[in-house]
Amino acid sequence: MPITPRAYKGMRDHLPEAMRLRRFITDTLIGILERYGFEPLSTPIVEYSETLEGKIGDEEKLLYRLKYGDDALTLRYDQTVPLARVVAQNEGKLTMPFKRYALGQSYRGERQARGRYREFWQLDADIVGVDSPIADAEIVAVVVEGLRALGFTGAKVLLNHREILSGLARVAGVPENEAGGVYRAIDKLDKIGNDGVRNELLKSGVSAEAAERVLHFVGISGSIEAVLAEMESVLANDPPALAAVAALRTICEVLTSFGVPADSFTIAPSLARGLSYYTGCVFEAVLDSPPMGSLLGGGRYDNLVGMFSKRSLPTVGCAFGLERLFDLMLELNMGPRPERTIDAYVTLFAGDFQNESLRLAGELRVAGLSVLTAYSPVKIANQFKEADRKGANFALVLGPDDLAAGVVQLKDLRSGQQQAVARDAIVAAIKAAQ
């Protein structure tokens, strides 16, 4: 009985048309990262289990575990923990600050749902070894420029700081051991609204008075300076939180100095993503028009490298989720329009003439042109159809009469026009007509 061909659930194939869009996304983003001085890094998709365990909290149950001989192994869950391992393992070889990007697959045993995959690609960008707010701002600038280059002109980066939310819990009188419930409730604000958050807070043991303080704080809105000023007023008696507000103000000032558009970033007091992971500034890029929710996120995590080393290294970074961007761009009909990507298609004639055509194809490739050839001398009309389907700009015919005359028939598949070109001028003719 034949095997049913199928990809594993939560994983998918990408045919050439899809790959062209995915390549557009990664090429665009990598080009921007390299202009900012980021360097490429690659790590294995398999790590020792001890490397990944204890680093991702409750989501550890999503790890794919392997056993090879006596080795306990795990497919990487993301590219951040492997970065921390690499930095600790090569600390004497890397020049700090280390600015790296990494493109690759990660694996999570997610329940199947729209937009959730068990194999997914990410493009990570991180700056290791510097705690300057300039580094935080640079990561945000990369996110803004990258999303706009892809066509997400309505994207906006929301900024907050872990210590601000910690300070909010303290000012509201929430005991430290209950603060996690506050963060989780705030994180649901967009989904359940103020009443839902209030109920969540009360259920977690927060007093009614403290719940109202929290709701007032996360509802602060207005210009960046107005929001920061109100934050300072609420957190006036909490020095660590005030220092965090000052850090956010500096990041925004640096973004302005970088020339990042003012409408592309703002302060969001309700942003509470990844607070068990991040140690400083946190951010999330969202698309409000059309309303598509979160595009990607990132922030500062200064303690992760310390799990593998005697000393911690301050780090800030982000991860562009290729699956999310790809799915959205397909849905919104974004990205470059299909283009002809092959310069020339060389047709074949039967008999001794075939070698001359193949020799011509080789010469064109040496000249730097992209070339397809027919694989059998079928009817010339069918070869033209094949050339058009493959996206070739030109079809080249080198038949008996053409050989005798020292010419090549050059058919422009875009316009349908055809002309005879001298054999030794064919490369120049193709390049001139592109």
Q: Is 78 annotated as a binding residue?
A: yes
Q: Is 409 annotated as a binding residue?
A: no
How is 297-337 classified by DSSP, letter by letter?
EEEE--SSGGGTSSS---EEEEEEEHHHHHHHHHHTT-SPP
Rounded to the nearest 5 percent, the helix, strand and coil shares of the chain are: 45, 20, 35
Q: Distance (Å, rounded) from C-alpha 143 to C-alpha 121?
A: 17
Q: Is 341 annotated as a binding residue?
A: no
Q: Distance (Å, rounded) from C-alpha 84 to C-alpha 305?
A: 5
Q: Is 418 annotated as a binding residue?
A: no
Q: Is 126 annotated as a binding residue?
A: yes
Q: What is the DSSP letter of 90?
A: T
| Cα angle value 101/102/107 (rounded, 5°) | 145
* Sequence letter at residue 318: C
Q: Is 101 annotated as a binding residue?
A: no
Cα-Cα-Cα-Cα torsion 401, 405, 406, 407, nearest 10 degrees, comes to: -70
Q: How many CA atoms lie within 13 A of 349 on its CB side?
A: 15
Please name the residues in contact with 293: beta carbons below 8 A apart, sequence gap of 6 or more: 286, 287
* Sequence letter at residue 423: R
In this structure, what token pair is assigned to residue 118?
Answer: 């068990």
Q: Distance (Å, rounded) from C-alpha 241 to C-alpha 422?
A: 76
Is the Cβ–Cβ distance between 410 and 394 less than 8 Å?
Answer: yes
Rg (CA), the chain: 28
SS3 per residue for 19-50: HHHHHHHHHHHHHHHHHCCCEECCCCCEEEHH
Q: Distance (Å, rounded) from C-alpha 26 to C-alpha 122?
A: 9
Q: How far apart are the first and last CA of the chain?
A: 51
Q: Is 354 annotated as a binding residue?
A: no
Largest CA distance in the chain: 95
Give the annotated binding-site residues.
78-80, 108, 122, 126, 273, 277-278
Q: Where is the binding site for L-histidine, in residues?
A: 78-80, 108, 122, 126, 273, 277-278
